[in-house]
């Protein structure tokens, strides 16, 4: 079993940025954790192939939470690889399958009312970005403590950034895939963009929960892999 980070570089607002979806390799099968922004499927495919893997072995996609940079290409993956299983928490599943209006969209619409005029254009663009996301059904809904991927991966509920956010703990590798529950900021774990956290107190509790796992490796979607000396 191994975890690979997939560095995806792209330009946004005139600046080069990078995200790090994770690829879990287990028993010759692949599990992708989060799918990047819309139209990122080719970029992620390229990274997987570069690492020597065949996309025909992609079996699962785990979504840590409903944000456009995490679920943006989920629909495209499901269309191209219809056999994949989509895995998410019960709460986030409602937004992914559009049973309910997403928390992030509600937040964006509320924030638009109080944004200064110079930021309203971006706020309106962000709302349209969220509204244009294509949705899919979630095959497996998970909760805290559930063991998935043949028992090798433990689901860790990490609310705060969103209410149904999950992270993943892989004991055999002493590793955590954090989603946006933690970012690698100057080689330290930190809360991801506190301004957008739906509940900052829960976000702080979730960060502490991940830190208390005392893992050696934290695979952060923003900032990349952080390796700590746990001795």
User: How many domains are there within the chain?
Assistant: 1
Task: Write out the DSSP string of 50-101.
Answer: HTT--GGGEEEEE--S--HHHHTTHHHHHHHSTTPEEEEEHHHHHHHTTSS-
Q: Are 191 and 200 within 8 A, CB to CB?
A: yes
Residue 212, pLDDT score:
97
What SS3 state is found at 175?
strand
pLDDT in tens, 55-80: 999 999 999 999 999 999 999 999 99
Looking at residue 13, its pLDDT comes to 79
Q: Report the pLDDT value the prediction gives residue 231, as an integer from 0 to 100.
A: 53
Within 10 A of 64 (CB to CB), how many other CB atoms are there? 28
Please report, to the nearest 10 degrees, the dihedral formed by the alpha carbons of residues 113, 197, 41, 4 taken in order. 170
CATH code, domain with 56:
3.60.15.10
Q: Decide if pLDDT at 152 tops 70.
A: yes
Tokens of 217: 């490796």
| pTM as predicted | 0.96
Q: Which residue, 10, 107, 84, is CA-closest to 75?
A: 84
- Annotate 108-143 with three-state secondary structure: HHHHHCCCCHHHHHHHHHHHHHHHCCCCCCCCEEEC
- Which residue segment(s) compose the domain that 119 sits in? 2-227
Per-residue pLDDT tens digits for 100-117: 999 999 999 999 988 888
Question: For residue 6, is pLDDT > 90?
Answer: yes
Tell whether the model's pLDDT for residue 230 goes beyond 70.
no
Q: What are the distances in angstroms from CA 90 to CA 34, 130, 151, 188, 225?
A: 16, 20, 19, 30, 27
Tokens representing residue 83 in the block? 């056999």
């Amino acid at each position: 079993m191994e975890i690979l980070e997939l560095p995806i570089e792209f330009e946004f607002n005139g600046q080069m940025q990078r995200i790090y979806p994770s690829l879990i390799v287990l028993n010759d099968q692949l599990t992708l954790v989060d799918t990047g922004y819309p139209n990122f499927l080719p970029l992620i495919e390229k990274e997987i192939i570069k690492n020597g893997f065949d996309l025909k072995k992609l079996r699962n996609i785990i979504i840590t939470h409903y944000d456009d940079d995490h679920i943006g290409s989920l629909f495209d993956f499901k269309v191209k690889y219809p056999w994949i299983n989509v895995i998410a928490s019960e709460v986030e599943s409602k937004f992914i399958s559009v049973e309910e209006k997403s928390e992030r969209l509600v937040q964006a619409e509320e924030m638009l009312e109080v944004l200064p005029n110079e930021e309203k254009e971006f706020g309106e663009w962000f709302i349209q970005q969220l509204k244009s996301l294509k949705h899919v059904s979630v095959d497996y809904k998970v909760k805290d403590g559930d063991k998935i991927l043949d028992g090798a991966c433990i689901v860790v509920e990490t609310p705060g950034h969103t209410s149904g956010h999950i992270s993943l703990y892989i004991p055999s590798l002493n590793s955590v895939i954090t989603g946006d529950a933690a970012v690698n900021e100057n080689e330290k774990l930190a809360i991801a963009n506190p301004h957008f956290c739906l509940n900052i107190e829960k976000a702080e509790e979730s960060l502490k929960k991940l830190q208390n796992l005392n893992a050696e490796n934290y695979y952060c979607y923003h900032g990349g892999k952080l390796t700590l000396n746990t001795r």
